[in-house]
Amino acid sequence: MWGYLAVLVVGLLIGAAGFGALDDPFALALAVLVCGAAAILVKPILGVYLTVFFSVLGDTQTMLGYPFNSNFSSRESILYIHNSLTFSPVELFLALTAVSWFAHTAGARNWRLRGRPLLLPVVGLGLMVGVGLVYGVGLRGGNLTVAIWELRPLLYLVVMYVLASNLFTRVEHYVYVAWAVVLAIAVQNLFAIHYYFTLSRAERATLEALTEHPSSLFYAWLFLLALAVCLLKSCSRVARFLIVLTVLPTAYLFVLSERRAAAVALAVGFIVFAFILFFRRRKAFFVLVPAVLLLSVAYTAAFWNSSEGAGFGARAVKTVFAPKSVSERDASSDVYRIIENYDLVYTIRVAPQTGVGFGRPFYQPAQLPNISFFVFSQYIPHNSILWIWLKMGYVGFVALLFLIAATLRAGTRASLALPSGDALAVTVGALAFIVMFFVFAYVDIAWGPRTCLFLAVCMATCVNMPRLAGVGRRGSSEKGAPSRVLQA
């Protein structure tokens, strides 16, 4: 208690200094960083909550200078310190959480690692990241700086999965982290809406997308979590009320963001939710699914020829079923991806076993249009699934496929076996996010700090929730649980 009080006093003092210079919020950001670091050292589980919350909160397009996902050497960050500090607050929090967890584990002499059956596949993927780094930079002379930027999110995934699986020891912990993400989305909504209304009419007219790519994935997850909380039995009324309030501004921003890939991912995520709903609440399934199908058909027909605004979902459908009828802007984006996929397949055929490794560009027998505003355009393609093969070779690609299959199996079993309540809703949301992430990753850049950290938490949720809830123990299953489906 005295430690918490001391951290609070120091933080308030530094924060007070920050309020004296609003044009330079460095002191305020530093106060938050110091308080968070101290709290993590006292209680390591807070490291998972704080890392996920502050990472999801950050959106580089609507929160200029947001420091948590940027290096301390980044001059755009309000926490810029020095050019030599090429690590970020994310990495600082992850390192402090790991150190604190190790110290507490050593004190308790409990060295058992949890997280099976995904623990070995996740660690194996991390080892393949190391192989890709050695091959690309050490053996092929790739750019080390580029390589580090490429592989960092993948390492975040590995570290966060291990930390969450071992620090979360109760069902409530996974529920709390889900609500931390909901809170982060709600706060980020305020910044995004404020940013949008500060733009002039001309700037709004030329705005291609309001938020960065991964933000729409979090919005889609929130929609499905809201459905799960509202339709599954025994969820708390407070949860239903709060999440409905958050959905309204999120839906507005989802439309403004206009991410076709996110719209397709949301549709696939809804199919996953409908599958679980069929076994958990069949009556609700036969009410919801026909209504959604009718509304979807009506919406697609009404906005089929729309080129902007709320019609981006219909444009996503048009891209799949009538690619020759899309707008000029969407067509140019699709053509870029077609050329890029051709180059990716060519690169894989040239080096099918090893790929090119981290830090080296993929080959371009078909020259891509110039998008120099994205500095990693020659290294990080839109197809984030084939990108794994490019960077880690055939074995790394198979390791990813195995990890996806094992995660989906664990998530499906958990969603069918858990008793009703908030924990079930969170697990169904986690499963839906995992599916949406990999659908999104097939057509857009997905391996970023925000998505990888939350993806790791979702994986840990699917694997560990049944064990923590006591599912599978004698006499612990809920009455009416679909046991025959699980056995099948």
List, for residues 229-280, the tens digit of each pLDDT value.
999 988 888 888 888 889 999 988 888 887 878 888 999 999 999 999 999 9
> How large is the average pLDDT for residues 426-452?
93
> With 90 as the cut, is the pLDDT of residue 164 above it?
yes
pLDDT at residue number 45:
94
Contact 102, 49 (CB under 8 A): no
Token digits of residue 144: 């080390």
Euclidean distance between CA atoms 251 and 257, whole angstroms: 10
Residue holding tokens 């001391």?
6
End-to-end CA distance of the chain: 51
Contact 308, 329 (CB under 8 A): no
* The most confident of 115-119, 136-140, 456-460, by mean pLDDT: 456-460
> With 60 as the cut, is the pLDDT of residue 21 above it?
no
> With 50 as the cut, is the pLDDT of residue 478 above it?
no
pLDDT at residue number 154:
95
List, for residues 168-214, the tens digit of each pLDDT value.
999 999 999 999 999 999 999 999 998 988 888 888 877 777 888 88
> How large is the average pLDDT for residues 299-319?
63
List, for residues 398-414, the tens digit of each pLDDT value.
999 999 999 999 999 99
Residue 415 burial by Cβ neighbours in a 10 Å radius (0-12, 13-18, 19+): buried
* Half-sphere exposure (Cβ direction) of 195: Cα atoms closer than 13 Å: 19
> With 80 as the cut, is the pLDDT of residue 432 above it?
yes
Euclidean distance between CA atoms 303 and 317, whole angstroms: 10
Share of the chain above pLDDT 70, in %: 84
Residue 72 burial by Cβ neighbours in a 10 Å radius (0-12, 13-18, 19+): buried
pLDDT at residue number 135:
94
Tell me the average pLDDT of the chain: 85
pLDDT at residue number 273:
95
* The most confident of 7-21, 60-74, 277-291, by mean pLDDT: 277-291
Euclidean distance between CA atoms 389 and 393, whole angstroms: 5
Token digits of residue 32: 């938050």
> How large is the average pLDDT for residues 120-143?
93
